[in-house]
């Protein structure tokens, strides 16, 4: 194989093939510390090109890693076994918005915030708004079943995906889901695809459900007293009807301090913050909602006056800075993502603090309090053995409280060794059976989501097919970029070695 070329791949697809340089290096990373060395990246032109790419990868047993913006936080989009990154970030079509049906069909590479802007004139929006919404893509949101602050009121991405058009690891085209408002035709395969982290198929088009934009969206930032019970706030607010609440967020004092409204005139607050979004259809209703929320907060031991934002989006944009502030001040760290029943949040916080004390590291805490979903950040090298120990302790704490090892970011590379502890052996066997059916050669995003077959966490998960996945080729990065149009493609393709 001559260095800097991959003739069989270059013959197989019509889109750009990137074979080296900074562009390829960037595609070997995501928002985590996990690193990969892809041998190439392909920017497919259309669905036919994706089918050709998958067929080629099957023939040559090469890993394909679908990718949107690469903002995932557990190595979900990192090509850990080399192979080819399938870069879909250029697929930005926003199809006609069907305002009557409240749906839109989009390309997987559309950035979440760009979609919101495109939808605004229609009076509709796509509710999941991850903290990364200025960069992350709808394909990635579907791949990880992403959430955001407003998922308290609206639910995660899965609820807002109507249909997915995808190319499976078999090379077959599928369209899962339906445009009908409801249906009852057996288990919904669409729901299996959402959150599958690129391991079943490559989404080429996604039809989304949309919600009407509320007339009024107020943001509230409220200082919390030191000893307040977070679970009590969350469950009392959840129990109270007629509040219009769509988001209940928490920031500990260190995270809050990095934000303009988290500081006092002396620059330090020392207080944790509650961020709320309160929706209403009229001014009168907004007043009622605000009054109810104030009453509940006082009863839950939160007397302070809120800082108000007429437009909650302004508050979320500022809140999105919390992660960057921690990045600037404290650098790489363990960024965890667990969720427990909201009433048990205080028990979780106690255990998270104990882990920090035992490990003698600093802990920063923020998250989606209304859903019991927290992001404990520990100031420790995320690739160190200590980080592994801390992660395991955090997951154990969450599972012990009836929670989950991932509230929203996904499993990726980092959490897969614990997946069986949450799901159990029968569920793991089923997941492998689905994976085998959709991707018989194990070419799609290998090494992610699924714990390896065989003994894991002390248990074993034989493959239902009894067949071990064939090894995936690992490639070294080279340094050539072939641009589309440089060389024409023969209409008849032959299977040749890479």
Interface contacts to ligand FAD, rule CB under 6 A:
30-31, 65-73, 76-77, 88, 108, 130-132, 136-137, 139-141, 143-144, 146-148, 197-198, 202-203, 323, 408-409, 445
d(CA 366, CA 345): 12
| For ligand FAD, the closer CB: 83 or 290 | 83
Nearest-approach distance from CB 276 to ligand FAD, in angstroms: 16
Tokens 């019970």 locate to 229
Tokens 């009076």 locate to 123
| For ligand FAD, the closer CB: 203 or 390 | 203
| For ligand FAD, the closer CB: 16 or 292 | 16
Determine how β-strand 245-251 pairs with β-strand 272-280.
antiparallel
| For ligand FAD, the closer CB: 119 or 280 | 119
| For ligand FAD, the closer CB: 70 or 231 | 70
Nearest-approach distance from CB 220 to ligand FAD, in angstroms: 19
- DSSP per-residue string spanning 304-336: PPPEEESBHHHHHHHHTHHHHHHHHHH-S-EE-
* Maximum pairwise Cα distance, the chain: 73
Residue 199 structure tokens: 């391991």
Helices (H), 309-409: 312-319, 321-330, 345-359, 385-400
Nearest-approach distance from CB 418 to ligand FAD, in angstroms: 17
Residue 173 structure tokens: 């085209």
d(CA 39, CA 47): 22
| For ligand FAD, the closer CB: 167 or 390 | 167
Q: How many angstroms from the chain centroid is the CA of residue 221?
A: 25
Nearest-approach distance from CB 282 to ligand FAD, in angstroms: 30
Nearest-approach distance from CB 74 to ligand FAD, in angstroms: 9
Nearest-approach distance from CB 285 to ligand FAD, in angstroms: 28
For the purposes of burial, counting CB atoms within 10 Å of the CB of 324, is it exposed (0-12), middle (13-18) or buried (19 or more)?
exposed
d(CA 498, CA 460): 35
Nearest-approach distance from CB 328 to ligand FAD, in angstroms: 12
Q: Are 14 and 49 in contact (CB under 8 A)?
A: yes
| For ligand FAD, the closer CB: 47 or 346 | 47
Closest CA to 188 of 209, 210, 159: 159
d(CA 487, CA 483): 8
Nearest-approach distance from CB 43 to ligand FAD, in angstroms: 12
| For ligand FAD, the closer CB: 12 or 203 | 203
| For ligand FAD, the closer CB: 74 or 420 | 74
Nearest-approach distance from CB 234 to ligand FAD, in angstroms: 17
For the purposes of burial, counting CB atoms within 10 Å of the CB of 470, is it exposed (0-12), middle (13-18) or buried (19 or more)?
exposed
Q: Are 67 and 77 in contact (CB under 8 A)?
A: yes
Nearest-approach distance from CB 458 to ligand FAD, in angstroms: 27
Nearest-approach distance from CB 53 to ligand FAD, in angstroms: 13
| For ligand FAD, the closer CB: 44 or 306 | 44
Closest CA to 119 of 206, 210, 205, 181: 210
| For ligand FAD, the closer CB: 128 or 244 | 128
| For ligand FAD, the closer CB: 274 or 286 | 274
CB neighbour list of residue 182: distance below 8 Å, 6 or more residues apart: none
- DSSP per-residue string spanning 209-268: E-EEPPSEEEEEEEEE-TT--HHHHHHHHHH-SS--EEEEEEE-HHHHHTSGGG--TTS-
Q: Are 218 and 278 in contact (CB under 8 A)?
A: yes
Nearest-approach distance from CB 164 to ligand FAD, in angstroms: 8
């Amino acid at each position: 194989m001559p260095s800097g070329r991959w003739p069989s791949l270059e013959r197989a697809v019509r889109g750009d093939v990137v074979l080296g340089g900074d562009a390829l290096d960037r595609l070997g990373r995501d928002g985590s510390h996990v690193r990969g060395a892809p041998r190439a990246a392909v920017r497919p032109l259309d669905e036919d090109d994706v089918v050709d790419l998958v067929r080629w990868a099957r023939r040559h047993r090469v890993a394909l890693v679908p990718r949107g913006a690469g903002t995932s936080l557990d190595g979900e989009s990192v090509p850990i076994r080399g192979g080819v990154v399938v870069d879909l970030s250029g697929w930005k079509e926003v199809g006609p918005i069907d305002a009557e049906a409240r749906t839109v069909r989009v390309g997987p590479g559309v950035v979440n915030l760009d979609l919101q802007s495109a939808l605004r004139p229609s009076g509709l929006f796509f509710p999941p708004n991850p903290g990364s919404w200025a960069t992350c893509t709808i394909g990635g949101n579907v791949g990880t079943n992403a959430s955001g602050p407003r998922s308290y009121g609206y639910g995660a991405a899965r609820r807002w995906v109507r249909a997915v058009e995808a190319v499976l690891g078999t090379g077959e085209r599928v369209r899962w889901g339906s445009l009908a408002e409801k249906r009852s035709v057996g288990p919904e395969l669409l729901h299996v695809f959402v959150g599958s982290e690129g391991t079943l198929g490559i989404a080429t088009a996604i039809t989304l459900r949309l919600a009407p934009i509320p007339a009024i969206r107020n943001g509230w930032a409220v200082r919390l007293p030191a000893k307040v019970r977070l679970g009590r706030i969350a469950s009392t607010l959840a129990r109270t009807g007629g509040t219009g609440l769509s988001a209940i967020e928490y920031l500990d004092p260190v995270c809050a301090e990095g934000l303009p409204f988290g500081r006092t005139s002396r620059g330090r607050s020392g207080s944790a913050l509650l961020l709320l979004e309160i929706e209403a259809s009229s001014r009168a209703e907004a007043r009622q909602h605000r009054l109810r929320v104030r009453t509940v907060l006082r009863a839950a031991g939160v007397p302070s006056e809120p800082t108000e934002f007429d437009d909650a989006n302004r508050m979320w944009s500022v809140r999105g800075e919390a992660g960057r502030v921690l990045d600037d001040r404290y650098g790489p760290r363990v960024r965890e993502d667990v969720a427990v029943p909201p009433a048990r949040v205080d028990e979780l916080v106690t255990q998270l603090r104990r882990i920090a004390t035992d490990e003698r590291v600093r802990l920063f805490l923020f998250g989606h309090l209304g859903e019991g979903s927290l992001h404990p950040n520990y100031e420790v090298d995320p690739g160190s053995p200590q980080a592994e120990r801390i992660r395991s302790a955090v997951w154990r704490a969450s599972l012990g409280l009836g929670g989950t090892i991932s509230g929203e970011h996904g499993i990726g590379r980092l959490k897969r060794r614990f997946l069986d502890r949450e799901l159990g052996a029968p569920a793991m066997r089923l997941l492998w059976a689905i994976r085998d059916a959709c991707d018989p050669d194990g070419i799609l995003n290998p090494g992610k989501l699924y714990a390896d077959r065989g003994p894991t966490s002390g248990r074993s998960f034989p493959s239902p097919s009894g067949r071990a996945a064939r090894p995936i080729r690992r490639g070294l990065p080279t340094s050539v970029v072939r641009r589309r149009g440089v060389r024409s493609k023969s209409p008849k393709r032959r299977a040749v070695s890479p």
